[in-house]
Structure 1
């Protein structure tokens, strides 16, 4: 019976995971939603003969048939109606920063490659922000609540482009899409303005004959390169409406009404946002597992009215986002602490982030920068750490007396507390003195942890030898293992008041931390390793040169304080 159950499970898994593969191999898998040929849409009955030929072209199952139909259309004496495009066009817009691909079917984006960033998988291909082969509406799709919604989404747009390339000599260029619905009276013009050295695109929508509000679709997972399971920061939707930042992706869908500063989609390092800067509604919808879409619904413009907005699609570069002055830099979550943002951590993180980049201008190696920054922070906290170490040392020396008092008054809790307080006062020992300095240092440690985990500056930044990407885990686990060893050494030389059983349990901590840090970015592990090494050096120096001539234990005194 058990064998049959196992066979059943194996076959079920094989069918589930092998189904899509078999379909692809047999050529039966569904094609991507965006193609370079016409979709099989039937034209109106009043079209001229050349359009009828084009309709046959739409229904053709092969490229050869498409080419034959186009040849026939070219030989037909009657020209197509004025302003009507004959076939789907796909073209690119290239700047110094990205390569964008558009189609005249709906006048939408089908690709957005960042030329200065490479994919994490192979490190060769540019990062692609547009999700490929999706069945959902593409970025910059314009729709409406009225009957013209389908023709605006699926119609063919005429296109005009007033530039060949964007560079220093020609920093700005325009692409204009025009849709003319003919008998329906619907007109829509999308005018996109590109800039050679900016990820920002100006979008102007001019309409006529459109009833109701207009919806501009940002897309599904546009800007989300790797969903991942982020330890810090939220992946998915993000918006700033009425001065309130919302980063939670809903279980199904959500509406956010008010003055929209921006609405976008983000992952750890990249994002895309629409910036309408007017009252409207942000629609966020969970389309599936790790699939989320965002769109902005704007009030209906007046007859032949115009709506202006902007599109940003690019990296989470702090200076770039901050220069837009709309709060997009807050998508870089420097303020994470335990279960959410913490203002103290965020306030500490930004100055440290500036220092990190300042040091890197001299080192040109973020690995060396992390080491130097850790040394600098360690030196700032030397007095606090000495105070903490001294307090732990004093507690260790009076520990036998603490144990004696606890044993003597174990049945009288009130008397026990009074005697312990008296013992600490007589020996001038603060029982929390070892923890308080660590609490004061915690915001700095957490802030630096957040910076090294979140900043795109470390993405694909090499250090040395086998560490060629400080934002990725160590491929050979060398740094995490060495870090675990330093934690063991640190535990051995740190004064403790724990009993032997507790001490043995605490020996498991280095092993746990090692397994945890195996999956962390190499830059984070390098910081933790450097900090542990400096702590060990400080404790050795303190023991040998500061506490060397001090007595091993304080003067003996009983619980009453008499010598």
Structure 2
């Protein structure tokens, strides 16, 4: 009978496992089909000529309502056709710039694949039928060429193809404004950097002052985050972030923008659009007071900044600047670009624990050369740092387990008299020096460390498409065969076997269900996170087993 039961349970487990695999194939997280199509279209149109497949700047009068205006904005004028898109490539950026307005309408990241082992780069910015996410900038105000409602200025460039060959690359777009002033919109790129310095050089060759305002903004629709591929567990933030003198990191998500506009005037600062692993941001030049705002126009979400009015005297020239970032949440680069920009790597309220853990994880990786081994290494180090706290908890649980039969006897003897049973239990605790709450405090102390480490593993772009060993080729994605979650569930069951059985039968049944529930919950977690929990459980089992043996040996000697 027992053999039949074991065979039945094994068969049921196998069928359940196969059903979960099939369910994942049918209904699991999608693999960014729209992004792959975008990259393909981009690759097919990388030449000098503009084709119908390339994203186009809009030409209808209502579309330009997304450009911010000032009280001195001009009236409507006709708009000419756009020129050929300008293709700019560096070692880390692959951009398309529309000469109509000089906007960045597509940004691919060659160092980050769209999909695992894909030959196509991840596309952060794009403008097509699937998604709108672009970076706009220009000059508005009295004489600004972008001030005209329904029209964007048409810049010209010497080439339509630019490739970084050296340490820096400068791309100039030129324009003669209606006032007669000569304007150069200059993009400056540096090797290995995701930032783009955008300069507007105004050469006033007229007899009157040239008055204008610099703006930079990010326009995005409300589509889901294409880099968020995990369907369960904590989700990374998707939305805008503003940094001002009053609040160095203020989230304004799409729901907030649906309800009201955000507006603030502050010295310096920045604005960003954040998603899992990647972000885009405008950082105006320091030393001035800027107006930051969010708006929703024609179903599009816009966040950006406006500079104070500047004036260029006749015969003079002036340069106004801003920096645009489009790339991964790379701590080192973000720290160099602007104060607090690294906070877009959101570790939550435990950032003060998570940041050192991230630096430790990165250092371990520099030694072992594998992010999976780095996760194992940091788990061991964290476990070692908390060794004595864990030892106290495990000793308390071991004593509870040792005197479990005696506690059961007292419960059976005084079960009808709860007051008497409590008195006898307290006598037993005092006699054997048992602290029934001894296992709680150490666990509570180490929980912030575990949660912070969870967020480090969740937010680290370095883990995206990072292989471990064998079939696990992406630690940021779930285990395709669910082997790690199942092993994690087994280790939880072993841990329960080493711990005392709760005296309450209902509580004991619930505890037995926990490994099953946690296993199911972890099925769709990123493999790196499951690896962390698995290693942590194995270390806990080893420590608990040794402590149990020590207490049993002490009892035998006594």
Structure 1 length-normalised TM: 0.73
Are 1:382 and 2:384 counterparts? no
Contact in 2 for aligned 1:107/1:177 (Cα 8 Å) = yes
Q: Which of the numbers 65, 74, 86 marks the counterpart of 1:91?
A: 86
Equivalent of 1:531, from 512, 536, 544?
536
Match of 1:483 among 488, 498, 508: 488
Q: CA RMSD in A?
A: 3.6
Q: How many Å apart are 1:529 and its aligned residue?
A: 0.9
Equivalence for 2:220: 220
- Structure 1 residues 433 and 259, CA gap change in structure 2 (3 angstroms): same
Q: Deviations over 1:312-361 (max 9, x none)?
A: 11111112212335111111122x3xxxx13xxx2222222222122212
Counterpart residue number, 1:301: 310
What is the CA-CA distance between 1:39 and the residue it aligns to?
5.4
Q: Which runs of 5+ in 2 are unaligned?
A: 1-33, 35-51, 62-77
> How far apart are 1:117 and its partner, in Å?
0.5
One of 250, 264, 267 as aligned partner of 1:256:
264
CA contact (8 A) 1:99 1:112 kept: yes
Q: 1:511 to 1:257 in 2, by over 3 A?
A: farther
Distance change >3 Å, CA 477–CA 86, structure 1 → 2? closer
**2:547 is aligned with 1:542:** yes
Tell whether the 8 Å contact from 1:260 to 1:281 is kept in structure 2 after alignment: no
Q: Against the structure 1 CA distance between its residues 420 and 128, is the aligned structure 2 distance closer, same or farther, given a 3 Å change threshold?
A: same
Aligned match of 1:365 in 364, 370, 385?
370
Report the counterpart of residue 246 of structure 1 in structure 2: 250
Give the equivalent residue in structure 2 for 1:451: 456
In the alignment, structure 1 residue 511 sits paired with structure 2 residue 516: yes
Q: CA deviation at 1:401?
A: 6.8
- Match status 1:179 vs 2:175: yes
Aligned length: 467
For 2:48, the equivalent position in structure 1 comes to none
1:248 Cα deviation (Å)?
A: 3.2
Counterpart of 1:333 in structure 2 is 346
| Cα distance in structure 1, aligned partners of 2:298 and 2:366 | 43
Correspondence 1:283-362 to 2 at 5 A: 283-285=293-295, 292-303=301-312, 306-334=319-347, 336=348, 341-342=349-350, 346-362=351-367
Check the 8 A contact 2:83/2:99 in 1, yes or no. yes
Q: How far is 1:463 from its partner?
A: 0.6
In structure 2, C-alpha distance between the alignment counterparts of 1:404 and 1:260, rounded to whole Å: 72
Matched, 1:120 2:115: yes
Give 1:424 shift: 3.4
Shift of 1:399: 2.8
In the alignment, the residues of structure 2 paired with residue 427 and residue 137 of structure 1 have an alpha-carbon distance, to the nearest angstrom, of 66
**Aligned partner of residue 123 in structure 1, secondary structure:** coil
Query: Residue 231 of structure 1 corresponds to which residue in structure 2?
Result: 234
Q: Report the Cα offset of residue 417 of structure 1.
A: 6.9
Partner of 1:139: 135
2:469 aligned to which of 464, 471, 489:
464
**In structure 1, what is the Cα distance between the partners aligned to 2:133 and 2:378?**
46
Distance 1:162 1:465, change over 3 A: closer
Superposed displacement of residue 293, structure 1 = 2.9
- Indicate how the Cα distance of structure 1 residues 144 and 225 shifts in structure 2: closer, same or farther if over 3 A, else same: farther
| Structure-2-length-normalised TM-score | 0.74
Q: Is the 8 A contact 1:131 1:221 kept in 2?
A: no
How many Å apart are 1:251 and its aligned residue? 4.1
Tell me, in whole angstroms, the C-alpha distance in 2 between the residues paired with 1:220 and 1:281.
20
SS at match of 2:524: coil
Choose from 292, 298, 303 the match for 1:282: 292
On the 8 A contact 2:283/2:338 being kept in 1, the answer is no
1:237/1:210 CA distance change after superposition, 3 Å: farther
Q: Does 1:35 align with 2:52?
A: no
Larger Rg belongs to:
1
**In the alignment, structure 1 residue 436 sits paired with structure 2 residue 431:** no
Q: Is 1:202 aligned to 2:212, yes or no?
A: no
Other structure's SS at 1:548 match: helix
